[in-house]
Structure 1
């Protein structure tokens, strides 16, 4: 496993580079790298003013009460990842959940946002907007579009003054329903530098690191560094769900209220999800009932040994294990191999565990354990033929310790299926370590993680994640990391990713013949993009054909705080190797990107050694980009066919290339126009949808390094001619 190494003192904030501590993986892998930062160029043609623009986003809609009341109490608007569902048809998860953004509901609270700058409540909210309730009796009220018997509320509460969180309740009322929903900020509010702390009064965790995001480029970082406290608060949100006890009909109103005598000064309501759950699932045929061996559905005693006994009996008889409805306390890993464990449904069968400190570190470096189901280590042959389905795993992890194995599901699981799971408050939802093959993760929900949502790590092959929802992760939501051993032929398909607070929505670190298709990714916050391909973290090279097909991103492409430049909704990054295998990008929709739609970049210190080539873009729609469609900060090439563009802030490709400024040879990056690319004219460097590509091909230098953001209008359906 990797360890986090401090930044060497010689790496400083300079004219040509900055430093970033970015993405830590399961075993600890914070990597501090030099970042491409261009010199200020000479003027080329039109003035290339390298101005840092303020972040501008569309103004908030008028008071949401007015809109809802004007509709005469009609059903509250339904969204998917804060987006009109018509704009993501056939993409993202198809789980039967009806999502309502709080800002679209009737409310007596205050709408906060929109806003996209990190370390703010509105930036972490779905859709970058939420509702703040800061007086007892204030509420958010949703009118149901469909019957529902279960509710999930995504919310934020203040932290305790000294950290550690506060507990409170929100009142949920509906016809014949009144319940107090327990909520907490215990699992929220991280601060400071990676790997972060729960202490708002902490000094710098790594005072010897160059302080990324300091805004000091090109000057040297001052010594000693002065910070204001709390320093860089983030990871504000959590979610709580509850069964309503009855089916509330369509047209009825559900109200979430900050009650009288509230234990907190305010609460922010972001999203209200409603669905029909129904009753518990029955036991599979001939199943072994875990309660017969001592599993306690009241949660008063630890059930780990009882479940292990049931597994032994089930394996001997070649039967599944059934864990009936209840809450089962499990404070350590349960090792599974050649067995099916089925619950009564993720709303009914819940494995809940505490984070337990070990007397001495485990051989893998863990200092804690907690609730989780693990395959055997790959070095010991791994596990095979495992099915885990229809239950929830709810952990108690409040701090990120990368050496700890405190994930919901882990180990090596070949020829296995994870189905209809709900995983919350572990460090990583699903982290599997190969070599292993043929794992399917499907129909599951992973939320409120301190690190990744799901990671196929090192030598995972022929595996699929499909129809999952991943929200509020503290690192990459979905990742494949070919760490030392290549991943091959894996697929991420029809998943919905929302609001990762650090890193990327979907990240691919090397691998052979990888496919990312029909996913919906919304609202990445900082140090990442919606979709990312990177030769990083010691990953094996990309090989074969990498396919990005028919994904939709929305409100991505934010400001990279360490580099102080705008990112793309798609970010391709050559850090340790060139990217030169075939990359097919087909049918993508990049909607409302804060900066670029597409960013191609090579690490500045290797700009003359590495390049990005082999990218083929076709049948792309870009609706809204605050700056340019393409930012090319690398040597190499890409081709474009049938790319339709509208509502783009700046004309022309930001074609900085490798920053050598050879005006006779042109940029080191070549853009190949294969035709049918719409939204172009011959007017350079003017706000609007003009000239996003054609004038600057094949290789004219056209580096508009940091143009001011021009906020686009909201995306809308695309009418084909």
Structure 2
């Protein structure tokens, strides 16, 4: 079992969203004491396949001429930067590299290399390649149209901690690498933080370098040998250590991790720890951890994959497997198929303080009966499917909680999606800017779960600029989406209360039923605060059958009628500020 000390919340208590150590400087910020630019502000726009729609806040800055820049003035000290950017794709669709000049206090500091290798997709979700052994979604062929997934990120370690007031500028110069081929560079935002000092190796740990790991060799054999040495030590060694450095994992066999693919395999009870997520880096085509049986502790390093498209069979996850009684904290994952994927009745995985960015499918999925689990104080950004999902596939997920997480710009589907299950909680999460085919929060019976029962509590969340057009069903999805399909058993009370929904693309609260109905589900919408919805406060689709209760909900800045009920749906309403 996880020791109690790990379950105690040592994060700062915030009202909503994740407790993260960085400050964000939006490139389009009009406060010149923080940000200055002579580039072109693009947006706002919410239309799928536009670069504006995928930008945080639907606006960014385009630099398409020599001498154009984005400059931030640090409001707090910083020694590490993350820049979210977009550069053009190659004509053949395999990406280009380009440079941009970094200045600190007007002094040239270094050239920063950017790439579009890990961005840009085309075509349709099912259009590229799908066989019994390989499922590749979308395409890298620009001729298929529907360009999207524009943004990626680069992280930069500075040589020291720079004080508040320091000016940091990203500028296009004619001698930047690939200046003419990279017709533009779009900067969305810059994050700045103080990078903690590297952690020391704990007493009783084995370093992977003792087994031959280093920056000039492939490290798969070394790390797996270290794991086995710890596992076979009868407790003499407490875990394995990933020291400061970059460790490559590029030799292996493509395939599913539970069948034939090369992975880092963790046996039961293994602890793996690094010097910090900025300092210890596992990177490459097979930088992926597969937990075989749980009772592990994984912390304080980064996993940077090499996936360039979504491959549902061969693609690697950051961390996957059976995570029973496993603690995962302070892990940074990018460029993998998914961030976390736990399945096969995992019981009691706890994930906190992690950053999941630029993955090709889900940020996290608690799948196939994963239960009694908590994910908190994590940041998910630019996922290629649901940022956070619970999928009751064959077995119901039971008693899971997503709380105090921040989600930004999922390129497809929902910020948080719950597909069936029993006794689920979504508490105090912050969700921004959904783009295509999804809502900020979605719950119901999509993907044919075996049941949806008990009590679902969706409370204290904040949804900003959420909702999108659903291209499969051809309708407008609201910010908070109740979706009922198939014939799953429904004996559930869903309490949606004290949520704040701002600037939704379409409706704030949306109820739809595609193949069946919601009869058997008790829906209670209580004390939600809604402002400036794109269409209605509540939209009930013409297919919806069932009932819901609306109590003490407040709506302001309405453009259209507050309540639109197109279906044979029964509504009980009291003490709302709409009729």
User: Structure 2-normalised TM-score?
Assistant: 0.88
CA distance in 2, matches of 1:242, 1:374: 29
2:500 to 589, 592, 596: 589
Match of 2:89 among 156, 159, 166: 159
Q: Which residue of 2 aligns with 1:375?
A: 291
Q: Give the superposition deviation at 1:674.
A: 3.0
Q: Distance in 2 between matches of 1:463 and 1:236?
A: 33
8 Å contact from structure 1 (residues 482, 510) kept in 2: yes
Root-mean-square deviation (Å): 1.9
The Cα shift of 1:169 comes to 1.6
Secondary structure, counterpart of 1:513 in structure 2? strand
1:513 Cα deviation after fit: 0.2
2:562 and 2:246 map into 1 onto residues whose CA distance is 58
Displacement after TM superposition at 1:652 (Å):
3.5
Correspondence 1:232 to 2:146: yes
Query: Is 1:334 the counterpart of 2:334 in the alignment?
Result: no
Aligned residue number for residue 276 of structure 1:
194
**Could you report, residue by residue, the CA deviation over 1:20-49 in whole angstroms, capped at 9, with x for unpaired residues?**
xxxxxxxxxxxxxxxxxxxxxxxxxxxxxx
Contact 1:438 1:462 in 2 (8 A): yes
Give the drift of 1:90: 1.0
Is this contact kept in 1: 2:439–2:478, CA < 8 A?
Answer: yes
Stretch moving more, 554-563 or 482-491: 554-563
Residue 492 of structure 1, aligned match among 399, 402, 417 = 402
Any residues of structure 2 matched to 1:404-443 within 5 Å, and which?
404-443=314-353
Verify: 1:173 aligned to 2:103, yes or no. Answer: yes
Cα–Cα, structure 1 residues 652 and 279, in superposed 2: closer, same or farther, change >3 Å?
closer
CA contact (8 A) 1:655 1:669 kept: yes
Q: 1:171-250 maps to which residues of 2 (within 5 A)?
A: 171-175=101-105, 178-195=109-126, 229-250=143-164
Query: Could you tell me which of 226, 232, 254 is aligned with 1:310?
Result: 226
Instruction: Pick which of 318-327 and 492-501 moved more.
Output: 318-327
Which protein is bigger by CA-based radius of gyration? 1
How many Å separate the matches in 1 of 2:417 and 2:195?
A: 32
CA shift, 1:602, in A, is 0.5
| Corresponding position: 1:656 with 2:566 | yes
Structure 1 residues 612 and 598, CA gap change in structure 2 (3 angstroms): farther
On the 8 A contact 2:91/2:142 being kept in 1, the answer is no
- Whole-angstrom distance in 1 between the partners of 2:345 and 2:562: 45
The match for 2:16 is 91
Q: Deviations over 1:295-321 (max 9, x none)?
A: 11x2x2111111122222223124121
CA-to-aligned-CA distance 1:167-226 (integer Å, 9 cap, x gap) = 1122222147712222100011100011466xxxxxx999xxxxxxxxxxxxxxxxxxxx
| Structure 1 partner of 2:7 | none
1:547 maps to what in 2?
457
The corresponding residue for 2:529 is: 621
Aligned to 2:369: 459
Counterparts in 2 of 1:467-486, with a 5 A limit?
467-486=377-396
In structure 2, relative to structure 1, the CA distance for the partners of 1:232 and 1:611 (3 Å cut) is farther
Change (3 A) 1:612 1:177: farther
Secondary structure of 1:307's partner?
helix
Aligned to 1:601: 512
> In structure 2, do the counterparts of structure 1 residues 422 and 277 end up closer, same or farther at CA, with 3 Å as the change threshold?
same
SS state at 1:446 partner: strand
Shift of 1:258: 2.0
Q: CA deviation at 1:560?
A: 2.4
Q: Distance in 1 between matches of 2:526 and 2:125?
A: 38
Residue equivalent to 1:324: 243
Distance change in 2, residues 1:612/1:571 (3 Å): farther
Q: Any idea what SS the aligned residue of 2:52 has?
A: helix
How far the C-alpha of 1:587 sits from its partner, in A, is 0.8
The 2-side partners of 1:133 and 1:178 are apart by 19
Secondary structure of the corresponding residue to residue 556 of structure 1:
coil
Task: Kindly indicate whether the alpha-carbon contact (under 8 Å) linking 1:440 and 1:465 is maintained by their aligned counterparts in 2.
Answer: yes
Q: Do the aligned residues in 1 keep the contact of 2:101 with 2:108 (CA within 8 Å)?
A: no
CA distance 1:404–1:205, shift in 2 (3 Å): closer
The structure 1 residue matched to 2:213, chosen from 295, 300, 307, is 295
Q: Is the 8 A contact 1:574 1:611 kept in 2?
A: no
Match of 1:350 in 2: 281
Using the TM superposition, give the Cα deviation of residue 136 of structure 1 relative to its aligned residue in structure 2, in angstroms.
Answer: 2.1
Inter-partner Cα distance in structure 2 for 1:334 and 1:456: 20
Q: Distance in 1 between matches of 2:144 and 2:39?
A: 26
The gaps in structure 2 that reach 5 residues or longer are: 1-12, 30-34, 132-140, 251-261
After superposition, where does 1:56-95 map in structure 2 within 5 Å? 90-95=15-20
Deviation at 1:577, TM superposition (A): 3.2
Instruction: Select 2:47's aligned residue among 106, 117, 133.
Output: 117
The answer (yes or no) to whether the contact 2:454–2:491 under 8 Å persists in 1 is: no
- Equivalent position SS for 1:601: strand
Which of 392, 396, 399 is the equivalent residue of 2:306?
396
Equivalent in the alignment of 2:256: none
1:434-453 Cα offsets, whole Å, 9 max, x none, are 21101011100001111111
CA distance in 2, matches of 1:424, 1:189: 16
What is aligned with 2:420?
510
Greater relative CO (CA pairs within 8 A, separation 6+):
1
TM-score normalized by the length of structure 1: 0.71
Q: Give the conservation status (yes or no) of the 8 Å contact 1:446–1:470.
A: yes
Q: Residue 311 of structure 1 aligns to a residue in which SS?
A: helix
Name the counterpart of 2:25.
100
1:536 Cα deviation (Å)? Answer: 1.7
Is the 1:343–1:391 Cα contact (8 Å) retained in structure 2?
Answer: yes
Shift of 1:567: 1.4
1:123 deviation in Å? 0.4
Residue equivalent to 2:167: 253
1:653 CA displacement: 1.3
- Matched-pair contact (CA < 8 Å) for 1:124–1:523: yes
Distance (Å, rounded) in 2 between the aligned partners of 1:548 and 1:585: 5
Map of 1:671 onto structure 2: 571
Residue 278 of structure 1 and its aligned partner are, at CA, apart by 2.5
Higher relative strand content? 2
Matches for 1:42-61 after TM superposition, within 5 Å:
none
Match of 2:71 among 132, 137, 141: 141
* Change in 2 beyond 3 A, CA 1:613/1:195: same
1:386 aligns with 2:296: yes
TM-superposed CA distance for 1:563, in Å, is 3.9
CA deviations 1:325-359 (Å, max 9, x no partner) are 000012341110211111111111000112xxxxx
1:404–1:534 CA distance, 2 compared to 1 (3 A): farther
In the alignment, the residues of structure 1 paired with residue 15 and residue 87 of structure 2 have an alpha-carbon distance, to the nearest angstrom, of 35
